[in-house]
Structure 1
Amino acid sequence: MSTIFLLLGILSIGLEFTVVQSVGVCYGLNGGNLPSKQEVVDLYKANNIVGMRLYLPDQEALEALRDSGIDLILGVAGETLSSLVDPTAASQWVSNFVTPYSQNVRIKYIAVGNEVHPSDSVAQFIHPVMQNIQSAISQANLQDQIKVTTVMDSSLITNSYPPSAGVFTEESKPFIQPIINFLVQNGSPLLANVYPYFAYANDQQNIPLAYALFTQIGTNDIGYGNIFDAMVDSIYSALEKLEAPNLAVVVAESGWPSEGGAGATMENAATYYANLISHVKSGGGTPKRPDVAIETYLFAMFDENMKPGAETERHFGLFHPDKSSKYALNF
C-alpha cells in the first residue's frame, strides 16, 4: 500500500511540473551589427532559451535552427500577404519555408500577420491567407505538428478595466470573428502582444510602476497584483463574448525598454524581465484562468539599432550585439 502511495506521489509531482511554462525570446533582425544566425542560435542554447519568434522566414536562421530543439513561431512577412491569397503561392511558401525544415526544426506556430488593424490595407488578406497556409500544411500532413494563427492588435479590445469587461470593438468584430472561428476549428491559439510598459508610459497617473513591474504588494481593488495578468484576462473576457471561452492565448511579445522613454531604465527593465520569467514559469496563470500556464515570448533578443519608430523601440534587447547579457536573467 505504501508503495502505491509513493508512486502516486511521484506521479503527482510529475504532473505538477508539466504545467510549468517555458519562456521564449523574439529574434528581430533590424540591427546592423548583430551576430551570425548560427551564433544567435548557439546563444539561445547556451542560455537555455527554448523558444524563438522569427518575424519572417529567414532561411539562414532556419538552417541554424536544425536539431536545436528550439520551438519556433515563424512569421509570414507582411509584404508577402497579398500574394499568398493565391492558394498556389501559399502552397509554394509552405514548400519553401516549412516542409524542408519540418523534420528537424520545431516549427510550432505560423503567424500570419503581426498586429494588423481592420483599417490596415493588408487586413483583408489575413483570414484567407491563414486558410491557404492551413490547407498547405494539411496537405503536407503537418496539421498536428504546426498551428496556423495570427498576432492580434491589442487595440482591438476595449473596456479592459476591469478585465472582465474586456470586449472587441464593434469595428473589429467583422475582421476578428472569422479569425477566431478559424482558430477554434483548427485547435490553434490566438497570439497577442502584451506590453505593460506602454500601458504604464501612456497612463502614469492611473497605473503605478509597481503594478507594471510585478512588484506591487498584494492586490488592487479588482483582485490583481500586476497589469500583465489584467491585460491577458481582458483578452480572455473578449474571447468569451465571441463564444470562444476555451481558446488559448499565447503572449507573442512582452518587454520593457532600457532607455528612450518614461520609466525606461536598465533597472526597471531588469526587474520586469526577471519577474515576468518567474511569473510565467510558475505556471500559475491569471486570476481568470489560474490553472492555465501562459506561454510567453520576451521581446527581444537584441537591441535593434535600425528599427524605426520611437527611441524606445531600439532598446528592448536582452543581449548586446556582442552577445554579452544586459541583465542577469535565469531562463
Structure 2
Amino acid sequence: MKSLTSLQLFLLLSTTVFNLFSSTAAIGVNYGMVADNLPSPTEVANFIKSKTIFDSVKIFDTNPNVLRAFANTGITMTVTIPNGEIPNLANEGAASAWVNANIQPFHPQTKIKYISIGNEIVLLGNPAHINGLVPAMIALTEALRKAGPQFQDIKVTSAHALNMFQGLTVPSLARFRVDLAETFFKPVLQFHQQNKSPFMINPYPYFELNVMSDNIDYAVFRKTPGVFDPTSKKTYSNALDSLLDKTYTAMSALGFGDVDIVIGETGWPSLGDPGNKAAGMDNAASYNGHLIRKIVSGAGTPLMPNRKFETYIFALFNENQKPGPIAEKNWGLFQPDFSPVYTSGALRDGPQPNLGNPGFDAEVKPGQPLPKPVQPMPSPPAANAKKFCVPKPEATDAQLQNNLDYACGQGIDCRPIQAGGVCVEPATVRCRAGFAMNSYFKSKLGVDSACDFGGTGQLTTVDPSYGNCRYV
C-alpha cells in the first residue's frame, strides 16, 4: 500500500464514517490485586455490581476465584495472559489447552469479553514476545472457534503502551515507530480488522508530563488555552484527546482507521513521593472525574468527534504491596474497605465531583503551538545500558522476594532465573531478585524511579553481569 500524503490522510480522517463503532461505551475498571488487605473477590463483585457505574472489569490474569465471583453478575470481563506465555501460545495445541483450562470452565456464566495476550510488550521489548504476538492471537482465535459457538463472541487483543510512536510530533502527523510499523503494527491491525476486535491502548497523560512542559492542568482536563495542531487546524483542550488522535492517525496511515480503539488502562495517582507535584487527590479527582464524564458524553476527539471509547480506569483499589515510588501504590479509586479515596463519580448513587469548567466540552479557540519538551523523552533501554538496578545491601530476603514476584508478574522475561536458565545460579533470593529488578527497571526505559522498589533498590554503573548471565 502506498504511503499517504498529509493531505490525503486528512481527507481520509475527515470522511471516516464513525457509525462503524458502538453507539454505547462501557465504563470499566482494572482490578489489580497486588495487596495484602483486599476484600474477597465475591465482595468485590457485589460492590461493583450494586454500588458503582462500572459494567466491565479487567484483570491481569485468569484468577479462577475472581472469574467465579463475577458469574451471573452481567459484568463483562477482560482476562490477561502473561507475556511469558506468548511464544508457547502460537502452537494450536497449546492455545486450545489454554482455552480449555481458563475459559471453558467459566464462560458464558462469567461474561468474558476480551482476552488480552500480554501487556505492553513493545515497551518491555522482548523480541520473542513481539514476534510471537500475532501467531498467538491467530492460534487463540482458532482455539475459541473450535471450542464452540458460545465462545466465538470473545475477542482477542493485546494492550499497548504509547511508546509506539516515532518521535515527538503533533497528533495529525503521528506515525508508528519505523522499526515496527510494517513488521509488527501492520500485522496486528490486520488481525483486528479481519476479526473485528479492538486495538487496545494504555494512554496515561500522567506519564507524558515531561513532553507537555509539565502542563498538569492540560493533562487533567482543566480549562487551558488549548494546544493547536497547525496541520489539522484542530485545537486540543486535553492530553487524552491528543494521545487518542495520535493513535488514530498512526493507524490510519497504515490503512486501518476503521479498527476500533479501546482504552485498556488510564488513570491518575492520588499520592506521590515528596516533590511529586502531579500525584495528588485534586489532580486524580479532576482527571478521573472528567474522564468518566467525557466517556459517557460521547464527545469524542477533534479527529474522532462523537465517538465513544470503551474505557477501563486504572485502578479499582490502592495496592499496598506494589513496589516502586509511592504513586505506584495509589492509583485506586477506592480503599480496601470500599470507601472512596476521593470523589470521582464512580459510585452510582454517590456524590459527584466538583469539576468546574471542563477542558473537553467547551469551545476552545486555537491556542499556543505544541509546547517544546522541557526534557527529552526517555531513551530506549539500550541508551541506559550502563545503568543498572540492584538490591540495596540492607534489603531483606522477604522484601526481595516481593520485588521478584512483582517484577516477574509484570511480564518481564524471568526465564533466565528459572530452572535451566543462565542466571539461575547462585540460587539465592538476592541474585534472582537483582536480575528481575534490573529487567523491570530497563522495561520502564531506565527511569530512575522504576528502581525504587519501596526503598530496596539502588542504581549503579557497575555491571552485575557474570559468566553467561548478562544484565542488559
Distance in 2 between the 1:309 and 1:91 partners?
Answer: 37
Work out whether 1:66 is the aligned partner of 2:78: no
**Letter of the 1:26 counterpart:** N
The residue matched to 1:177 in structure 2 has which SS? helix
Aligned to 1:194: 203
**Pairing 1:274-293 to 2, within 5 Å after superposition:** 274-293=289-308
> Which blocks of at least 5 consecutive residues in structure 1 are unaligned?
1-14
Distance in 1 between the 2:184 and 2:302 partners?
Answer: 28
1:155 to 163, 169, 178: 163
**Letter of the 1:162 counterpart:** V
> Which blocks of at least 5 consecutive residues in structure 2 are unaligned?
1-18, 230-234, 347-472
2:36 to 29, 32, 36: 32
**Letter of the 1:324 counterpart:** S
Work out whether 1:42 is the aligned partner of 2:57: no
CA contact (8 A) 2:83 2:121 kept: no
The residue matched to 1:221 in structure 2 has which SS? strand
Distance in 1 between the 2:277 and 2:76 partners?
Answer: 33
Pairwise CA RMSD of aligned residues? 1.8
CA contact (8 A) 1:188 1:248 kept: yes
TM-score, length of structure 1 as denominator length: 0.89
**Letter of the 2:228 counterpart:** D
Shift of 1:160: 5.3
Aligned to 1:166: 174
Distance in 1 between the 2:296 and 2:270 partners?
Answer: 23
**Pairing 1:257-296 to 2, within 5 Å after superposition:** 257-260=269-272, 261-296=276-311
**Pairing 1:35-114 to 2, within 5 Å after superposition:** 35-45=39-49, 46-114=51-119
Work out whether 1:175 is the aligned partner of 2:187: no
Between the aligned residues of both structures, percent identity stands at: 33
CA contact (8 A) 1:160 1:234 kept: no
The residue matched to 1:156 in structure 2 has which SS? coil
Task: Give deviations 1:81-136, integer Å, cap 9, x for gaps.
Answer: 23323211211111122122222212111111111018314222211111111001
Give the 3 Å change call, closer, same or farther, for CA 142–112 of structure 1 in structure 2. farther
CA contact (8 A) 1:254 1:299 kept: yes
CA contact (8 A) 2:264 2:312 kept: yes
CA contact (8 A) 2:218 2:226 kept: no
1:129 to 129, 136, 148: 136
Bigger relative CO (Cα 8 Å, ≥ 6 apart): 1
Aligned to 1:245: 257
Task: Give deviations 1:240-295, integer Å, cap 9, x for gaps.
Answer: 11110111110000010112234101111111110100011101111111022111
Distance in 1 between the 2:155 and 2:207 partners?
Answer: 29
Distance in 2 between the 1:291 and 1:307 partners?
Answer: 37
CA contact (8 A) 2:99 2:144 kept: yes
The residue matched to 1:81 in structure 2 has which SS? helix
CA contact (8 A) 2:107 2:151 kept: no
1:210 to 213, 217, 221: 217
Distance in 2 between the 1:74 and 1:181 partners?
Answer: 22
Aligned to 2:154: 146
Aligned to 2:13: none
Shift of 1:80: 2.4
**Letter of the 1:290 counterpart:** P
Structure number, greater radius of gyration: 2
**Letter of the 2:59 counterpart:** L
1:256 to 244, 268, 275: 268
**Letter of the 1:189 counterpart:** P
CA contact (8 A) 1:112 1:126 kept: yes
Distance in 2 between the 1:276 and 1:103 partners?
Answer: 30
Aligned to 1:21: 25
The residue matched to 1:126 in structure 2 has which SS? helix
Distance in 2 between the 1:278 and 1:88 partners?
Answer: 44
CA contact (8 A) 2:166 2:178 kept: no
TM-score, length of structure 2 as denominator length: 0.63
